[in-house]
Amino acid sequence: MLVFCARGYGLYANLTRFVCFGSLDEKHSELHRKVREIEAATLNFSQPGVSLNAVYYALKTAYEQHGYSQAIREHHQGGTTGYLAREIVANPTTSDILAPNMAVAWNPSLSGAKIEDTFVIHSDGKLENLTFDPNWPSVDIEGRLRPVPLEI
């Protein structure tokens, strides 16, 4: 697992990638698929005017729907980013409201799988992935290209 919180020109970007030396086994492949689906629910909810705790609860619900009700408590789930690696970490009480041009970096995690990129929220609700690498293997998840583990 490679986790980066890098700063350039005063702003942070965050991403997580996995590399597998050999073939990814079925169990871990399935964990990564579930994490991508959990993240998709979170990204879909990351819209202007939505509170961070509402996104947190959407993430909690997605974990529960995939059979991992305790996972929300096992790692921080991310939040807003920009001038700090995490400006505000989402939790059940963070009532801050998402606004256009804010950046978010969610990092849903299951034991053995995690996903993270930095997205800017535009006024029309579209998300722009600032850390997307077209050379990294990816799959389409609800209209977004999302990274898969690199098998070497």
Tokens 């579930």 map to which residue?
Answer: 34
The predicted structure's pLDDT at residue 129 = 98
**Cβ neighbours of 122 (radius 10 Å):** 14
The predicted structure's pLDDT at residue 49 = 98
Q: Do the beta carbons of residue 49 and residue 38 sit within 8 Å?
A: no
Q: CATH assignment of 2-151?
A: 3.90.230.10
Label residue 90 by pLDDT band (50, 70, 90). Answer: very high
Tokens 């399935």 map to which residue?
Answer: 30
Label residue 79 by pLDDT band (50, 70, 90). Answer: very high
Label residue 106 by pLDDT band (50, 70, 90). Answer: very high
**Residue range 60-75: mean pLDDT, rounded:** 96
d(CA 59, CA 28): 20
**Residue range 76-92: mean pLDDT, rounded:** 94
pLDDT digit string, tens, across residues 24-45: 999 999 999 999 999 999 999 9
pLDDT digit string, tens, across residues 117-151: 999 999 999 999 999 999 999 999 999 999 999 99
SS3 63: helix
Q: Which of 17, 15, 49, 44 is nearest to 113 (CA)?
A: 17
